[in-house]
Amino acid sequence: MMKPNMHYADLKDSYLFFHIARKIRAYQDAHPDARLFRMGIGDVSLPLPKAVIDALHEAVDDQADKARFHGYMPEPGAPFLRETIAAHYKKRGVDVSPEEVFVSSGASDELGDLLDLFDRQNRALVIEPAYPAYVDANVIAGRRIIHLPSGEENGFLPEPYLEATAELIYICSPNNPTGAVFTREKLRRWIDFANDNGSVILFDAAYEAYIEDEALPHSIFELEGAKTCAIEVCSLSKTAGFTGTRLGYTIIPKALVRSGLSLNDMWVRNRTTKTNGVSYILQKGGAAVFTDEGQRQIRENIAVYKNNARVLTEALDRCGITYCGGKNAPYIWLRCPDGMGSWAFFDYLLNEIQVVGTPGEGFGACGEGYFRFSTFGSPADTEEAARRLVRLLRKG
């Protein structure tokens, strides 16, 4: 008889957003006329920029024309997009060759698929609070997880230490959910640690486009030594509104070698075996993001989310609530007032002011007592949510 992968039974009972959806449904069933203000789930609300839409339309027309039609694309990505992304890194002073760039269907897909590169005996170190998929993907693969908690005392950016070592190290910067961003100095310590121990860092840069402080690194490869210990996973989801369109890219340096095997070569082999490449149309749309006009248009959209962040953080300031994030990241991470637990605060906001956020506990045990707001909502909803927060939580 077929034996299923029993590690699925080790997953915690369900995914965070499933619980939230269930609570919202119950509230709506009881209050059918209530309007909710969703500051929770991390999906964008603005459409794709015009430069991308134009490129997608053109690519659709190519597919209707015998002379311009494209069939299967090269599995690691179309050369035009790999070259465009390598040139984008170069503009930032990071030397990455097109062969080190892999086009993906998004960071989430890639973070799961990449685990094929690593032995099951490897341990995975997850700095928490963390994007829940890091833990779940490794539980499914049967790996041991080392949970490294972070907190206000280290600005949610913990340092490595030998007792909490692992062969795989997840670093998400800017971080979901805390909004914390690794400085060069702090990232350097992890790079040195990984090189010293032969570990590989999976650097999730899904939110790099939100960094505004010039001193903060957008890419781990801005730092020396990263090419021998890191893989960078990027996404156009939050950078350019591709959450429903799906496109991302991953950098695997040629210099990343373990036990005599090149992880770049292994990934080429993996992609040629397990995929037939990302759609030509989407890759054309993705390339438009990196044009001057595309960059200008994505900045306009990001500015809308940044303004939402400003509206929400001003409201929190008025309420005297402690928080971080919102400046170099689209998430605001706050300490629940009056020592409330994360889910208690979730229920309180939902029931009292119909504002929906995300309980911190869903991102790891050390997230208990914290709460995440996303800044991806509509400006009008965000402003109303901010007004309601002030009304409910302002002291005196």
* Gap between the Cα atoms of 315 and 389, Å rounded: 7
Site membership for ligand PLP, residue 355 (CB under 6 A): no
Residue 176 zone, left/alpha/beta (φ > 0; ψ -120 to 50; rest): beta
Q: Is the Cβ of residue 199 or residue 237 nearer to ligand PLP in the bound state? A: 237
Site membership for ligand PLP, residue 85 (CB under 6 A): no
Q: Stretches 72-80, 102-110, 332-340, 376-384: which one binds ligand PLP (CB under 6 A)?
A: 102-110
> Which burial class, exposed, middle or buried, applies to 27 when counting CB atoms under 10 A from its CB (0-12, 13-18, 19+)?
middle
Which of 152, 172, 150, 175 lies closest to 161 in space, CA to CA? 150
Strands 123-128 and 168-172: parallel
For residue 139, the minimal CB distance to ligand PLP (Å) is 17
For residue 177, the minimal CB distance to ligand PLP (Å) is 8
Q: Stretches 68-76, 93-101, 105-113, 181-189: which one binds ligand PLP (CB under 6 A)?
A: 105-113
Site membership for ligand PLP, residue 42 (CB under 6 A): yes
Q: Is the Cβ of residue 198 or residue 244 nearer to ligand PLP in the bound state? A: 244
Q: Stretches 106-114, 119-127, 210-218, 358-366: which one binds ligand PLP (CB under 6 A)?
A: 106-114
Residue selected from 122, 165, 183, 243 as contacting ligand PLP according to rule CB under 6 A: 243
Site membership for ligand PLP, residue 250 (CB under 6 A): no
* Gap between the Cα atoms of 41 and 17, Å rounded: 7
Site membership for ligand PLP, residue 148 (CB under 6 A): no
8 A C-beta contact, residue 284 and residue 294: no
> Which burial class, exposed, middle or buried, applies to 369 when counting CB atoms under 10 A from its CB (0-12, 13-18, 19+)?
middle
Site membership for ligand PLP, residue 206 (CB under 6 A): yes
- Helix-, strand-, coil-residue percentages of the chain, each rounded to 5: 50, 15, 35
Q: Is the Cβ of residue 202 or residue 349 nearer to ligand PLP in the bound state? A: 202
8 A C-beta contact, residue 346 and residue 201: no
For residue 219, the minimal CB distance to ligand PLP (Å) is 15
Tell me whether the omega of the peptide bond preceding residue 253 falls within 30 degrees of 0, making it cis.
no
* Gap between the Cα atoms of 240 and 130, Å rounded: 23
Residue selected from 199, 235, 283, 308 as contacting ligand PLP according to rule CB under 6 A: 235
Residues 271-330 that bind ligand PLP (CB under 6 A): none
8 A C-beta contact, residue 393 and residue 312: no
Site string for ligand PLP, 166-195 (x = CB under 6 A): ------x---x-------------------
Q: Is the Cβ of residue 248 or residue 357 nearer to ligand PLP in the bound state? A: 248
Residues near ligand PLP, by CB under 6 A: 42, 106-108, 131, 172, 176, 204, 206, 235, 237, 243, 248
